[in-house]
Each structure stands twice: as C-alpha cells, then as structure tokens.
Amino acid sequence: MSISEGGLTTFAMPPGDLSQVPFRVYTDPELYALEQERIFRGPTWNFLALECEIPNIGDYKTTYVGDAPIIVVRGADGINALVNRCAHKGALICYKHAGNVREFNCVYHNWTYDLAGKLTGVAFKRGVAGKGGLAADFDQTSHGLERLRVETYRGLIFGTYSQETPPFLDYIGRELAANIDRVFIKPLRVVGYHCQVLPNNWKLYAENNRDSYHASLLHVFHNTFGVVRPNMGGGVKIADSGWHHLSFTQREPVADKDVGREKVRSLKEQYRLKDPSMMEHKLELGDQVTNAIQTIFPSFVAQQILNALAVRQIQPKGVDRTELVWTILGFADDDAEMQELRLKVNNLVGPAGLISMEDGCVGGFVQRAAKADPDAMVVMPMGGRGISGSDGSRVTEAAVRGFWKGWRECMGF
C-alpha cells in the first residue's frame, strides 16, 4: 500500500523479499515523479549516445535522461552533456534530433551558450539607448546550461547528474564490462534507428529484458529457428550489486562449406523460411553466442542477436507510456556482404521485428491488468528469491529481482 506523508509517497514493500512488488509500482504517478528525482537524477549512469554519432566538433544529438531533455555535444575539449533548457525562461535550446552548431542559441530571447554550456551572450544586455538591460548584479558566469558528468566506454556515452555516482567501470563491474568489450570490439557505425511507443510503464520493459526465460515461450520464432531454446548453453550473469545483468545463449556450429557460418535449424521441420539467409550467423566475435542481452540500470540495453547489433534506450514518457529507441549498429569496416546480412537479421528486432513485436504489446497487457488491484503483489519466484547468476540455466527471474533491488535502493524503500 502507499502512504502519503507531506506529499511524498512512501511505500510498503515486503521486507527482505525481492520476489514481490505491488502492482502500484506501475500505476502510481507520485512514484513516477519520485523516480525522476531519485533514479534518473540520482546516482545512476544513463546512456546518452554513441561517439560515432557526434564525430566532429559542434556535432550534437538530443536525447533524454528520464523525462529530462538532454543535449550531447562534442566540444573542443571533449564530449559534454547539457540539460536542453535555457537558463533564462526554460525554453528548449535544440529542437532538432541532431546537427552541427558553433554555439547554442535560444530562439525565445536569444541567449547564447558555447559548446560547454557557458552563457556567452544576452540580447539587449545593456538595454536600448541607455535604458533597460540586465540588472547590475547579474552574474553571467552563474547562468550557464546545467551540465551532467560524462564518461565514455567502448564508444558508448553515459551521463549522470550525481557527483556520488561511482566511475562507470566500478558501477557495472568488470564481469559485465567484459561483454561490452566482447561485442563492441571495433569502431562502430550507425546503420539506422527504430523508435516505438510502448503502452506501459518504463519498468515493465526494463524487467522484460532481464526476464531471460520468457524468450523461448513468448517469442515463438526464437524457439522455432534456434536462436534461443531452453536447452541451449549459456547462462545469466548478474552484477554484485544486482543492478545490471547479462543473459546469453550459445550453440555449436553445424558443419557447412562456408567456414564460420551456421545453417538455420528449425525445431519443427515443417516450418521453413523463404529466405533462410536472414538467419545465417557469421561468427565475428570469437564465440558461438547467438543471443546476448545486457542491461545497465536503469534504462540501457545492449543487444547481440546473431549479427544484429544494437543499443536500446528506455525513455519514460509518463506513468503508463514509454518510448523505446533502438540504435542499430555495425562496424565501420563492414564489407558489403556483412552490411546486407546485418540488415536482413535486423528484421528480427524493432517495432515489427519477428521477435520483438511481442515485447511491444505484452507490457501493455500487464499495464492494463495492474489497475485491477494496485495493492496486489507481482510474484517473481523462478530460480528462488536471490539475485545470483547461473551457468547454463536461464529459467530464472534473478535479474528481475536484481532490478528491484536497485530500484528500492535508489528510491529509499
């Protein structure tokens, strides 16, 4: 149940039991507002962009941390993350998704900022004809754009509002950093973007990516064509904090005249693909991992499905609405054959992906049903009640429980 104390919602959570949460966590607008303060503006690293998206000085991209608009820009001294809000009246500075600028200019009253967010100019600063202008005690150096701390890793750019957030590698742990090292082995290039609106709370999609055992149940395509099956090798790795995770599957290559490739196999022989080349797997990462889904609390997902590489960013848009942005990736040195293969395999993901389309609706099913009794409990008993990883078995909700551990710790519940 929720209890209002001075306008701040506190929460009765089962003490010491990470395997239950009330459905209210998906429906309570007070909790949603508190998440913006304590999670997204709290001691967490939030994915912002890729370095390859802003290669030149003045290149910028707009994004979000929680529901706060952010500008990511490459300046002369490195990459800056700035709140996309003028220090004067609070208007957006950048309206375009991306571009290149020498400085930032607010269209409302023409306040200008350099690429580090420093206020460099104010229209009518000295008034007109000796009349008006800024107050004599106005300190221009104190009115720049709000800045986030920034760290980059393997071409990924992360930002945090908090000075208390530990360094990025300490935040995720070396074991989980190893998968980023494994996948992002060369300079990246952006193949394209998908964007979709999910009719559910952001946490339902965050949970979905940590729920490793739904893949072979909900996603029939996965199981039918052998990308993910419950009897495959692999496992689940969970950070010591519980906040972050990696779930992966692997299979042995089938003999083929093309070295380094594996033929598609169907669980049910009556099912065939008209073009099976979309399921070819060119072994480019030094292993036989077919599917690797990695999360970084609160809202980042790194994906390797066969040769489909991507990062996903979860953007809350209200208590029952989420925007999911997919950035589809390849390597800068991909040849024409690999570029074509990546495009084919990417039919598996995105809003209409042969795998991902189910995830786009199932969260909405939960969101609608959660309103039946917000104080009833979600139960997460698979794999016990702890947050330990597992070798081989992915029939576990340990990583989901780890997410709720992070949520409780950030929220103070």
172-193 confidence digits (pLDDT tens): 999 999 999 999 999 999 999 9
More confident residue, 178 or 291: 178
Antiparallel, parallel or unpaired: β 59-65 and 98-100: antiparallel
Q: Which CATH architecture is the domain 178-411 placed in?
A: Alpha-Beta Complex (3.90)
Q: Where in the chain is the domain with CATH 3.90.380.10?
A: 178-411
Give 250's pLDDT tier (boundaries 50, 70, 90): confident
Residue 384 · residue 398 · CB < 8 Å: yes
Instruction: Please tell me the predicted confidence (pLDDT) of residue 388.
Output: 84
Q: What is the homologous superfamily of the domain 46-151 according to CATH?
A: Rieske [2Fe-2S] iron-sulphur domain (2.102.10.10)
Render pLDDT for 374-405 as a digit per residue (tens, 0 to 9): 889 999 898 888 888 777 677 789 999 999 99
Q: Where in the chain is the domain with CATH 2.102.10.10?
A: 46-151
Render pLDDT for 29-82 as a digit per residue (tens, 0 to 9): 999 999 999 999 999 999 999 999 999 999 999 999 999 999 999 999 999 999
Whether 17 shows a pLDDT value over 70: the answer reads yes
Render pLDDT for 80-116 as a digit per residue (tens, 0 to 9): 999 999 999 999 999 999 999 999 999 999 999 999 9
Instruction: Please tell me the predicted confidence (pLDDT) of residue 7.
Output: 44
Here the tokens at position 165 are: 């957030």
